[in-house]
Amino acid sequence: MGRRHSGLLLCKTGEKAMKRAISAELKKTRREMMERRTKCHECNDYATELHHIIAVEDGGTDDIKNLMPLCNECHKEYTSEQTIERNKMYGLRVAGCGTLFRL
């Protein structure tokens, strides 16, 4: 996966792969989750991430009803699966570092 730099996710080549503003509501909810030591929805480890059940890109919101607490490993798996499904839906396939093309 890419690395973070100045709030952006960068590909290994240094390209910008994703840029999305994080709302104050999401920051507050995540901070509260960490303070309460909330457990991961999947594996019962401590949650470190808030997963959007309906991705923001698909119209999801930062509302607590659309968020699921996950540990880092479970979040990677959920996000990966969600991206694969979204790309199938739009008939896209990833080539290299974030380059999409139509099937």
Q: Domains in the chain, start-ordered, CATH in brackets?
A: 23-102 (1.10.30)
Whole-angstrom distance, CA of residue 100 vs CA of residue 91: 10
Judged on CB neighbours under 10 Å (0-12, 13-18, 19+), 82 is middle
Residue 95 confidence (pLDDT) above 70: no
Span 10-37, average pLDDT? 73
The number of helices, as runs of H, and strands, as runs of E, in the chain is 2, 7
Residue 101 confidence (pLDDT) above 80: no
pLDDT value for 100: 52
Residue 82 confidence (pLDDT) above 50: yes
Whole-angstrom distance, CA of residue 78 vs CA of residue 23: 21
Work out the widest C-alpha separation in the chain, in whole angstroms.
45
User: What mean pLDDT, rounded, does the chain reach?
Assistant: 76
Confidence band for 57, pLDDT divided at 50, 70 and 90: confident
